[in-house]
Amino acid sequence: MNKRYLGVGAGVAAAALVLSACTPPGSDGGEAAGGSDGPSVLNVGWNEPFRSMNTETVNGNAVANSNLTYMMNDNFKHYDGNLELVDGTLGTVEQVSEDPLQVKYTFADTATWSDGTPVDAADIVLHWAAKSTNFNTESDEDVAEDRDEESGDLAEQSEGDVYFDSASPGAGLIKDFPEISEDGKSVTFEYSKPFADWELELGFGADGVGLPSHIVAKKALGIDDPQEAKQAILDAFENKDNEALSKIANTWNTGFNFTSLPDDEDLLIHNGPYKMTGFAEGQNLTLEKDEAYTGPTDPKIDQVVVRYNEDPMAGVQGIENGELDIIQPQATADVLSASEAIDGVEVIAEDGGTYEHVDLTFDNGGPFDPETYGGDEEKAKLVRQAFLKTLPRQQILDTIIKPLNDEAVLRDSYTMFPGSPMYDGITGGNGLAEEYPGSDAEGAKALLEEAGVESPKVRVLYGASNERRAQQFTLIKEQAEAAGFEIIEDGDDNWGTRLGDGTYDASLFGWQSTNTGVTESDANFRTGQQNNYGGYSNEKVDGLYDELQVETDEGRQEEILTEIESTLVDDAFGVTLFQHPGLTIYRDRLQNVSSITVTPTMFWNYWEWEVS
């Protein structure tokens, strides 16, 4: 057994020393392993089942989905092992004008959906328009109660009402219908303002260009001919035809969600090298190389079987008995020691792209909501500050994380991970470490007395079956109750579908970074954005994000982010805890494995995986 380790704070620069600087897909295809012995098969263990081909909706925005859509679809841009942005195989993207900002996407001749339909303008226009919110006639508040409590799916909107269940600030800056070439192979988008992260906005990573527009139109509008269907999509957005857009939005929102292999093969259409051929609900999912694929990416493994189990130790057992070849389980001391003891197994231990945090709810009539105190903003803030002061940040790190990595440090930034270029500057100025060092029961008592609030009840939501979070909750409860809070346990395995529903006061979970862009955190903290589950709203923060979107100077970007984070600290938004320790555990029959700190983590170079 060999073990490689990247310490906390090593960051991207150190990753360049140990992760192979691999080429983009298609540059060195090679022959599939297996040869005369039959097809090569790789068994992957994962904790959460797939549920949607659309990773842009609130429900579909999950790593369990995007890891696999990344393997089933090509893209314009993706990250290499050093987190450098490199060209994908779907086509080319270029900035053709700086003022105004114009970005041109040109599809490769090989870009084809698996049913033989070209990937072209209609697909990326649908992708942009759905993400932009520019075509919505219904607000987030209008549809807030229209979600299924268990699945998280949005209910179908009434005829003529348009609501795409997504939001992307960058896409929203593209106000006008784009310029499309006569053959539909090139599309030029013009931004209403400069946008720092334009390369990450459309055609990037796991999303590619999203859903096949001709299939969306077929389901929504009843048009069978692919080219007529594509044109109907373009016409609906260009003419702002709300009757058609309402149907398109309803299909786009939920029509590609499924938890077992669908009978309707249209839902499985893709443009990448792998196709889904099997899916037993809650058990396993199978991807196979698609012989009809026309692009240049040539994976060396014929079949990838993903087996689902939430128990990390079950994954280790699967590695030991040969049922699994690679896993990336939640890291615990038991998982690490058990995997290190298995012969013929490699372990990569490094900082993951997920960070743990506690967020508070501002708009649910609970202890942190000003409306609870007759609109008294200051009183509500004092209660929030008191609760955050009790959180045992260092104790959680020392007790739960340092047994895995004795160099682990607290994460003191809402937007940057330890070791990233802006981290030291931001944490030196945001005040989080000074204001909320943790375990300050006496300081919290004083704030509650100042507020004149006795024994506030706080409902804490977390994943019930997550052992590490259960341990964290126990430590949080002990400290908070010592300060005078009444802590109500709200452990729920369906916690993900409840985020934002107002039934809890504090939430304990992790954010997985999807890219390295400076505007990525916009969705977490801006008023009304997709990931702002606690109803936080501050006009100053919104204005700073407006400025950040158009700022290209890195020094000024750091200043803006520092100011945003200082405001979050002043408002007692919540606190960050630690960067998740990451473990990639695999049998040594598998070669060319590495992981990056953003989605799709260990899947980033799937085309280079080989089995012997």
Residues 6+ apart with CB under 8 A from 29: 296, 297, 298
Residues 6+ apart with CB under 8 A from 164: 129, 130, 131, 133, 135, 136, 249, 252, 253
- Contact assessment for residue 541 and residue 564, using Cβ atoms and an 8 Å cutoff: yes
pLDDT score recorded for residue 152:
66
For helices 467-482 and 441-451, angle between their N-to-C axes, nearest 10 degrees: 60
Mapped onto helix, strand or coil, the DSSP state of residue 571 is coil
Measured distance CA(548)–CA(197) in Å, rounded: 10
pLDDT score recorded for residue 10:
24
Task: Give the long-range contacts of residues 108-111, CB within 8 A, separation 24 or more.
Answer: 108/295, 110/294, 110/295, 110/296, 111/74, 111/271, 111/295
pLDDT score recorded for residue 68:
97
Helices (H) and strands (E) in the chain, counts: 20, 19
Residues 6+ apart with CB under 8 A from 503: 364, 459, 461, 490
Look at residues 253, 243, 223 and name the one whose alpha carbon lies nearest to residue 126: 253
Look at residues 32, 35, 73 and name the one whose alpha carbon lies nearest to residue 54: 73
pTM as predicted: 0.79
CATH topology of domain 354-580: Dipeptide-binding Protein; domain 3 (3.10.105)
Q: H or E element: which one contains 77? A: strand 77-79
The first and second tokens of residue 567, run together, are 């405001």
Name the stretches of the chain with pLDDT < 70: 1-37, 144, 149-152
Q: Which CATH superfamily is domain 91-202+212-255 in?
A: Dipeptide-binding Protein; Domain 1 (3.90.76.10)
The first and second tokens of residue 303, run together, are 């079949």
User: For tokens 């786009």, what's the residue?
Assistant: 252
Cβ-count burial of 505 within 10 angstroms (0-12 exposed, 13-18 middle, 19+ buried)?
buried
Measured distance CA(29)–CA(36) in Å, rounded: 19
Look at residues 220, 564, 270 and name the one whose alpha carbon lies nearest to residue 426: 564
Would you say the CATH fold of 354-580 matches that of 91-202+212-255? Answer: no
**Number of residues that make up the chain:** 612
- Contact assessment for residue 570 and residue 314, using Cβ atoms and an 8 Å cutoff: no
Residues 6+ apart with CB under 8 A from 163: 136, 137, 138, 142, 143, 154, 157, 249, 253
pLDDT score recorded for residue 301:
97
Residues 6+ apart with CB under 8 A from 600: 63, 66, 67, 70, 205, 206
Q: How far apart are the first and last CA of the chain?
A: 17
Measured distance CA(612)–CA(598) in Å, rounded: 28
The first and second tokens of residue 378, run together, are 């200051």
Domain boundaries, the chain: 91-202+212-255, 354-580
The first and second tokens of residue 266, run together, are 């249209």
Residues 6+ apart with CB under 8 A from 386: 443, 444, 445, 447, 448, 451, 483, 485
Measured distance CA(69)–CA(127) in Å, rounded: 15
Measured distance CA(260)–CA(258) in Å, rounded: 6
Mapped onto helix, strand or coil, the DSSP state of residue 358 is strand
E-assigned strands of 131-171?
Answer: none
pLDDT score recorded for residue 150:
66
- Measured from the Cβ of residue 205, the count of other Cβ atoms closer than 10 Å reads 24
pLDDT in tens, 364-397: 999 999 999 999 999 999 999 999 999 999 999 9
Measured distance CA(442)–CA(557) in Å, rounded: 37
pLDDT in tens, 538-581: 999 999 998 888 888 889 999 999 999 999 999 999 999 998 88
- Contact assessment for residue 134 and residue 145, using Cβ atoms and an 8 Å cutoff: no
- Measured from the Cβ of residue 594, the count of other Cβ atoms closer than 10 Å reads 19
